[in-house]
Structure 1
């Protein structure tokens, strides 16, 4: 099993005719994802050739949904167009919108998250690599050849650290890996993924990757203490980050003692989470927990 994305997911790509949209569409298809078409109002009625498949280009998301039964969209449009793209997808009944675009204005993100939530659409991102259920499907830009299927669930604020932890644990494998994005406002949180992994019978251990800025990891720690029974192993990036400076992600800002890596690590450890000091040490902690009688691959 997996969370949010399975082999039954049918994917549209908003921005499929652009350079990035085309490149990542081909990668998703090569990974086995069921990409069924794309959306570009200016090129409606055309097609895109990708990995031996001819994909239709629709003028609207609703047309794509009606023609293909798509239930997932990957948003690869410029920042100025992202708000309208996500709202259009939600209005068309898309259940999952993966917003890869970075540089989305915060007020636009707030608006489209509220709009999507009211219509029952889950948003992952913005400024995220998306998610992958290895061996089943991927939506976004996570390479499919890093790791295969297994029984570890991964949720991360950092795209790069998503890839690194997948590589470190490639011999074990994953149920689903979710890069939620590092912006101040994101649609799917650590807590959302923790809840889904807790309910997923094929996820036996959860890896949580955080970084400096905000209080998402502290809130996740409180949720773990109250609601998560499965083992959780964590990693927090940013121990050497200078105070008051943005570090990569727009949400990665430290102010005084708030949002520091140390505070986050302490909160997670107080909730019973083992926290690695490096990605490699984090992987060793995962192996140690899995070695205590836990299975490491699907039946």
Structure 2
């Protein structure tokens, strides 16, 4: 089983005809993702040959959904057009919108999120500035490499794309139910807590890896949620122990200000509620192996 993205998901790509969109659409197809079309108003009515498939291009998300039954959109459009693309997907009430684009203005992301709430929260947004979501062996929506891991019983939620990939590779012998890269911008759609709740409710996810980083208080809030609501074992890693104060590191949201948002504070908050936190990604993978050894394997 998987969360949010399954083998039955029907995926469209907003920006499929662009260079990045077409490249990653071909990669998603190769991973077995059921891509049913793309969206580009200027090329509506055309088709694009990718990965041995002829994929139709629709003028709007609503048209694509009506014609194909799509329930997932992956957004590969330039930053200045991202807000409008996501608002269009929200207005069409698509179930999941995965926003890969980097460099989206925070004001635009805030408006996207507010619009989703105004529309009743019918559209889950993952991102922006994220690698996407992959349910190994079932579907892959985004830019996560499909050949670095296997289906299994671990759930992974991460702010960092590259650390998502490393953890998937480190634990490839055990495998993953779903891997979610939520992105590291100051404002994002899906949070650690959202993923923790979904993994807790998923009967085939037996342990969870949570990767955070400096900046903000998302990891501290996740720790409080784990204490109250998560009974499955959780291990964690926090990137940024050596980051200098006041300097943005990597992601736009990864900045330490005074005593707020430090890696040490996040580590302490997680350990206080029983989450074992590794000093490196490899050590974190080792901790997961230790805690999972005590959990009987039931995933099919």
Distance of 1:29 and 1:286 partners within structure 2? 31
Asked whether the equivalents of residues 86 and 116 of structure 1 are also in contact (C-alpha less than 8 Å), the reply is: no
Q: 1:93: how far off?
A: 1.8
Q: TM-score with structure 1 length normalisation?
A: 0.98
Distance of 1:250 and 1:236 partners within structure 2? 16
The 5-angstrom pairing of residues 156-195 of structure 1 reads 156-195=158-197
Number of matched pairs: 298
The corresponding residue for 1:273 is 275
Q: 1:51: how far off?
A: 1.0
The 5-angstrom pairing of residues 27-42 of structure 1 reads 27-42=27-42
Distance of 2:63 and 2:103 partners within structure 1? 28
Q: 2:219 aligns with which of 212, 217, 220?
A: 217
Q: Does 1:145 align with 2:131?
A: no
Gaps of 5+ in 1: none
CA RMSD, 1 decimal: 0.8
Q: 1:117: how far off?
A: 2.7
Give every structure 1 segment of 4 or more consecutive aligned residues whose post-TM-superposition deviation is greater than 4 Å: none
Distance of 2:25 and 2:66 partners within structure 1? 20
The corresponding residue for 1:205 is 207
Asked whether the equivalents of residues 206 and 295 of structure 2 are also in contact (C-alpha less than 8 Å), the reply is: no
Asked whether the equivalents of residues 131 and 176 of structure 1 are also in contact (C-alpha less than 8 Å), the reply is: yes
The corresponding residue for 2:99 is 99
Q: Secondary structure at the match of 1:65?
A: helix
The corresponding residue for 1:298 is 299
The corresponding residue for 1:9 is 9
Q: 1:293: how far off?
A: 4.2
Distance of 2:172 and 2:113 partners within structure 1? 33
Q: 1:256: how far off?
A: 1.2
The corresponding residue for 1:77 is 77
The corresponding residue for 1:89 is 89
Distance of 2:32 and 2:105 partners within structure 1? 33
Asked whether the equivalents of residues 205 and 299 of structure 2 are also in contact (C-alpha less than 8 Å), the reply is: no
Asked whether the equivalents of residues 220 and 269 of structure 2 are also in contact (C-alpha less than 8 Å), the reply is: yes
Q: 1:236: how far off?
A: 0.4
Q: 1:133: how far off?
A: 0.4
Alignment deviations for residues 182-232 of structure 1 (CA, whole Å, 9 cap, x no partner): 000000000000000000000000000000000000000000001100000
